[in-house]
Amino acid sequence: MPFAETHFLASEVSFTFGGIAVPPWDVSYAGAAPCCAGLYQFTVRVPPTLPDGHIPVMAAVQGVATPAGPYLTVRRRR
């Protein structure tokens, strides 16, 4: 597979950060990573309203959600 090609997922992926839903237009890529077989890459804009702290991240495809566990640590510049 040439690196210039992208391979999007066939189904839409939804994301939530700390229970805050990410609108579909803020998911710019969801598909195969060009570097590694079996690895998927997601490019998602983080909601600007997230508070500081360890924020749980969840993704879902066709209503099937990822298991609990991944977190994004947020710390705003002051």
Would you give per-residue pLDDT tens digits along the chain (78 residues)?
A: 444 556 767 778 899 999 999 999 999 888 888 888 888 888 999 999 999 999 999 999 888 999 988 999 999 877
The model's pTM is: 0.77
Say if strands 53-61 and 71-74 run parallel, antiparallel, or are unpaired: antiparallel
Residue 67: C-alpha distances to residues 6, 44, 51, 56, 73 (Å): 26, 18, 22, 11, 18
Buried b (16+ CB within 10 A) or exposed e, 54-65: ebebbbeeeeee
